[in-house]
Structure 1
């Protein structure tokens, strides 16, 4: 996107006039006008920190009413704005943060970048939120213009949010490893220093398969561990890392099934790798739980990858489904405790079954419980 001469500056002026510029008094001192909550105090931003961060992504709908709020500290809203959710979250002392996504090429110019940041700060204020989760995930070449712009975006966003909404939280989503996964060659050290913490997306680890083209776990334990080690080896403070785990798996159709755990895949290249998880499709945990006991094999456990899987038949084709469950997730949550990380989180909370069935309720409760390392 390109701006006509003077347009971006005008936008900054209009945003500042409408909501208040970044130099106004802190939001805690502003009157709570338009508060949708029965108690106006619930429209104040939360402050302080938690011993264990549990970061939850929500993609919309009403599932949030059934979440285990006793196990949450932050909810990132990636769906439509729901003022009732904000009131309920604040009543349970849980932060609510915006989704922040923008094309890097659109914020290379300082004026455009400032305008975008101000628009997000003012949106957070108008919705009585507590910060922003930056989810860009673009491929960036090392030390390119975009490399430095992305670092500046995080720094300036954090400074502005902290100034405008005291106690607010600015976080940044990163791949499972800092080793240029999917072309994301970022300045991870500076981004970690500038933000409140990194949400490490320890899933989709088969986006680039370099060795062989077989179905594998979405988030193998030792690969998860190696990614966290790589961040720590950059001397990033462990309290700046939140480990993200998947509440979904991958359903892979086999071009040939040699034996359990040896499901050959169609070659689907991605970013130079000959194979990728694009050969399969994502499947939510609630659907997995409906399928596994009806499958050909039932639940298998792969001790090398520390992950469950099963085999089913669909239209005369064998499918191998790899996923995470309370056993595999609790093992990964143990990494949080072992290395004193900031916390744990998941993508995403809507992927469980929140119905009235007693079996589903237990399965859902076990997944929430698995997030807390023993």
Structure 2
């Protein structure tokens, strides 16, 4: 059955079996009914969740195994605080072409819905990433989203469908300069989450993970160019950075530019452990509005670019100014909740404090 680019019509829902409620109080296995005007979305596995600041969290995209005891405990605690628990789902790039087939889409949707019912979840977070070079495939992805939305809402109107999208909708290498039909996706989701990270732009030069100016351009394209309601958009920022192994340095305007030979992601807690060993302390890049520092490890120079409370606050203020739907982070378990160092624990507390405070300003 072919759907138009708007969510409408009836979708047949195949019979789906419930699992066994993991909570002592069976009422906690009911979908969260509390409605939120704005959203604070947390992506995370299970470690450290007991130490989070839960004050403003509205949606937990749980990246843990729902069959494990700790993940079950996380689920029950989240529901006790009226926090929705959703599951991240995707489609392999090799299967993109198959999405033009309605039968294949129905198979995927049935699997997704079975997960929702088996683990008593509150919905799905769709994370489909990859280049799309065919308008037919792009339409297939839109149809999959439409049909998933209709099927979930038919089961229970409280279920939530969210979509992870890139920081900028304009991608010249994809069909029609857009890898997905973001306008239609906005109509067939509760909201979309911008992945405002992995935006390395320096080529062979170490650079910021989430430059402010690129985020500003991306939101302008979504809101002003595509006319997507900002209340359909959630800003997800990185609680991690990049460690660049420098081959040599090029000095320009008194800043040492790291020409790197390799790079790797580094979580915030590990980055903070390296700061005391940095050669000249934390520096600030004015263009990207991002911090970085240089450190020597085993006689090899590294440059680490990351986000801290200062750089993230600037991004959060942008979200408030644009009146976005909400804020989020990738990921909550990238902070250090077990340190005995008061300074580290203060940094962890401040990361939560700032995103929560800005969430309440939305």
TM-score (normalised: structure 2): 0.87
1:92 and 2:87 equivalent? no
Deviation readout 1:130-181 (Å, 9 max, x if unpaired): 000001112112x522111011111111111111122111011111100128
- State the aligned residue count: 332
Match of 2:119 among 121, 127, 132: 127
Gaps of 5+ in 1: 1-12, 20-31, 267-278
Shift of 1:212: 5.0
**Could you tell me whether the CA contact under 8 Å between 2:19 and 2:117 is conserved in 1?**
no
Match of 1:69 among 54, 58, 62: 54
Deviation readout 1:60-92 (Å, 9 max, x if unpaired): 343222221113111101221122211100111
**Could you tell me whether the CA contact under 8 Å between 1:327 and 1:370 is conserved in 2?**
no
Match of 1:38 among 17, 20, 24: 24
Match of 1:219 among 210, 213, 224: 210
Q: Which residue of 2 aligns with 1:173?
A: 164
Q: Which residue of 2 aligns with 1:191?
A: 185
Query: Equivalent residue of 2:87, what SS?
Result: strand
Shift of 1:107: 3.3
1:366 and 2:358 equivalent? no
Q: Which residue of 2 aligns with 1:158?
A: 149
Q: Which residue of 1 aligns with 2:267?
A: 284
Shift of 1:192: 1.0
Q: Which residue of 1 aligns with 2:235?
A: 243
Query: Equivalent residue of 2:281, what SS?
Result: coil
CA distance in 2, matches of 1:161, 1:321: 43
**Could you tell me whether the CA contact under 8 Å between 1:73 and 1:93 is conserved in 2?**
yes
**Could you tell me whether the CA contact under 8 Å between 1:175 and 1:181 is conserved in 2?**
no
**Could you tell me whether the CA contact under 8 Å between 2:46 and 2:63 is conserved in 1?**
no
Q: Which residue of 2 aligns with 1:258?
A: 250
Closer/same/farther in 2, CA of residues 181 and 335 from structure 1, 3 Å limit: farther
**Could you tell me whether the CA contact under 8 Å between 2:16 and 2:117 is conserved in 1?**
no
Closer/same/farther in 2, CA of residues 181 and 96 from structure 1, 3 Å limit: farther
Query: Equivalent residue of 1:362, what SS?
Result: helix
Closer/same/farther in 2, CA of residues 240 and 181 from structure 1, 3 Å limit: farther
Bigger shift: residues 253-262 or 124-133: 253-262
Query: Equivalent residue of 2:41, what SS?
Result: strand
Shift of 1:364: 0.8
CA distance in 2, matches of 1:89, 1:205: 31
Shift of 1:265: 2.7
1:334-373 mapped onto 2 (5 Å cutoff): 334-357=317-340, 358-371=342-355, 372-373=357-358
Deviation readout 1:173-196 (Å, 9 max, x if unpaired): 111100128756111111111111
Shift of 1:48: 4.2
Shift of 1:222: 1.1
CA distance in 2, matches of 1:108, 1:351: 38
Deviation readout 1:325-363 (Å, 9 max, x if unpaired): 011111100111101100010111111001142222211
Deviation readout 1:12-37 (Å, 9 max, x if unpaired): x9x93552xxxxxxxxxxxx873221
Closer/same/farther in 2, CA of residues 62 and 214 from structure 1, 3 Å limit: closer
